[in-house]
Chains A and B, each alone.
Chain A
Amino acid sequence: MSPDNIFEGANESGGTEEKDGERKLGYGAAVVETMAQIMREDESVFIAGEDVGAHGGVFGYYRGLQPEFGEDRVVDTPIAEQAIIGLGIGAAVQGLRPVVDLMFMDFICVAMDQIVNQAAKLKYMFGGGAKLPLTITTAGGGGLSAAAQHSQSLEAMLCHVPGLKVVMPSDAYEVKGLLTACIREDNPTVFIINKRKLGDACHVPEELFEIPLGKGHIVREGSDATVVAIGRMVEEATKAAETLSDEGIDCELINPRTVQPLDIDLIVESVSKTGHLVIVHEAVRFGGIGAEIAAQIQEKAFDYLDAPIERVAAPFSPVPFSPVLEKKYIPDAERISAGIKNLF
């Protein structure tokens, strides 16, 4: 199956629909809608990347933009990740607001110099002179049998680099609010689109709005355990929290929305209330963002903890191909529930 076929469904269900008077929009469609609205209001925004133009992106989340905005602003580039990021950096320094797409998050590795040594550091090395309003969009996460080079969650690598902001929307509402914030932001941001979420719809306002970067969101209030879930794991953690609620464990679910900057204060506040912390992410456990959160919590809220911090994450292996293995690899509601129960 080509990525196209995989996401055909995503695009179909990605359109808007009115249900109970509430406007619903798919996760992938939210990218398209946001981009179109921003490009209409701000001429300095353009998109460049592999197959983003005529094809609308291999996941379809740029579909329809080139017909409206033309080839000059929705630019098909060669398969050249370093040059794509370089294109964005050079244009951003010139005052434009580029959105450059890296197709699969795994491909950031090909462009690591331009991201880590150039985009992230130029402003600092230049003594503050440069603004770098660059948004890098890329599709991360597994669950599609795309195997080890097309399924990774590499956000922790990026979070380690001062100068970058790393954004992980968990639903279509956040896609719109966070992408708008990223594009209007004067710093390089990496906007990680979860490819398994593309077809999921939820309520999304029609007008552009911003969700501030660095502010987490309490998805569900609770008193017994704090669950921090990242990206698509918010959905799985929500299911787990509902199940456990029936069993008498009242979880408070926090979605940080951005992992760099990280809203640690929100987590500290919650842990000081619940005394328990579980961190959930798709990336491998070792050196994952959960390790950073756990370290900061023991620094800032050690006295409130009633149990060791639990991490539910992928095991230390590349993402396997076989659907059976991959299902075991990526955390799901069941594993999250088990992780939470470990604390009690």
Chain B
Amino acid sequence: MDITDEILIDLYKRMVRVRLFEEEAGRLAESARLPGFLHLYVGEEAVAAGVCAALKNEDQITSTHRGHGHLLAKGGDFNRMMAELMGKATGYCNGKGGSMHICDLDLAMLGANGIVGAGVPIAVGAAFANRLTGNGLISVSFFGDGATNIGAFHEAANMAAALSLPMLFICENNEYAEYSPRHRTMAITDVIERAAAYGFPGAIVDGMDCVAVFEAASLAIEKIRSGEGPMMLECKTYRFYDHVGVKGTASNYRTDEEVEEMKKRDPLLVHEARLIESGVMSADSLQAIKDEIQKEVDKSVEFAEESPFPEVEEMLLDVYSKREPS
């Protein structure tokens, strides 16, 4: 595929949108301005950006508890996201979902998910619907390395393979299942070996490089769309913040040195260097993009803070399909 300047810039914007929104959300959480749990995606932006840029808008994705990045990379709206994080009526879920359940069906984003691994079977269903209706779309499930120790993942992988469904499995292998290092929780190191076990191809790519992810995802997507059944792309990545929040817990499950070492491979820095070296963008124009997006982020904070909390009546609405109290 030809990776044009437009694609390179688009990848950058997608990553910056995730990064700046999440850094802001992290600051708000630290200053106790956001309720609930916040699982930040910072460090893993190349995966969401690379994969979403390779998809059609209508291709469905299912996400994880660390789901802001997926929705933002697919074009999610800052205002509605920030409002949802604050539990406001103007949020994506009318303030009833929060960070872990953020979704946008218009963007074919079928929801972040508070249950590890639970989005994978749902993506199987979307893939099934795509094939049955012949709409030419594929579904993508993002999941972490830890999710692949859960039964739902295995059932879904086997079913997608057995039914030969148009589905792309994206493993975001950040080496930690919450606070447990990967080697303590599984006896294999590469999750794609699990794809092989169910009879479909898997490949590993550098998940800190958006171009590598984009290219690899594009190759897989083309094959999946042409009816070759499911595939798995394992993106070796890393989260810069803790499992929850910014500072997280005080436990020593990983060293500061390790985190600092990985930050040298910051997907934004990697891509910025490439854009400048290849003459696609100057440092100034990169900064201009960041400034612009930061303004949008700032506006979203304003929007969210000025938005009302939901009325109490909202609590009983949407339990069932009609907007009537349950």
Contact = CB atoms under 8 A, between A and B. Distances in A.
Interface of A: 46, 48, 72-73, 75, 77-78, 80-96, 98, 113-114, 117-118, 122-132, 162-163, 165, 185-187
19 contacts: A77-B162, A82-B121, A82-B156, A83-B124, A83-B156, A85-B121, A88-B125, A90-B123, A93-B105, A94-B133, A96-B129, A96-B132, A113-B118, A114-B121, A118-B118, A125-B103, A127-B91, A162-B319, A186-B321
A253 B132 CA distance: 45
B158 interface: yes
A78 B110 contact: no
Interface of B: 60, 62, 91-97, 101, 103-105, 110-111, 113-115, 118, 120-133, 139, 151-152, 155-156, 158-159, 162-163, 317-321, 323, 326
B111 A117 contact: no
Contacts of A129: 93, 103-105
A91 B128 contact: yes
A90 B97 contact: no
A162 B315 CA distance: 12
A83 B126 CA distance: 12
B151 A82 contact: yes
Given A72-B131, A90-B127, A94-B125, 15 more contacts: A77-B163, A80-B156, A80-B158, A83-B156, A86-B121, A88-B125, A89-B122, A91-B125, A114-B152, A123-B318, A123-B321, A126-B101, A127-B93, A130-B111, A163-B319
Given A86-B120, A86-B121, A128 B323 contact: yes
B98 to A, nearest CB: 8
Given A123-B321, A126-B101, A80 B125 contact: no
A143 B157 CA distance: 37
B97 A125 contact: yes
A128 B316 CA distance: 11
Contacts of A86: 118, 120-125, 152, 155-156
B71 to A, nearest CB: 12
A113 B156 CA distance: 14
B321 A91 contact: no
Contacts of B104: 129
Contacts of B124: 83, 86-87, 90
A98 B132 CA distance: 11
A221 to B, nearest CB: 31
A92 B60 CA distance: 13
B132 A118 contact: no
A81 B156 CA distance: 10
A6 B318 CA distance: 42
Nearest to A119: B122
B321 A94 contact: no
Contact of A125 (B96, B131, B133): B96
Interface hub of B93, B122, B124, B163 (most chain A Cβ within 10 A): B122
A297 to B, nearest CB: 20
B125 A98 contact: yes
B319 A124 contact: yes
Contacts of B133: 94, 96
A128 B318 contact: yes
Contacts of B101: 125-126
A200 B111 CA distance: 43
A72 B164 CA distance: 12
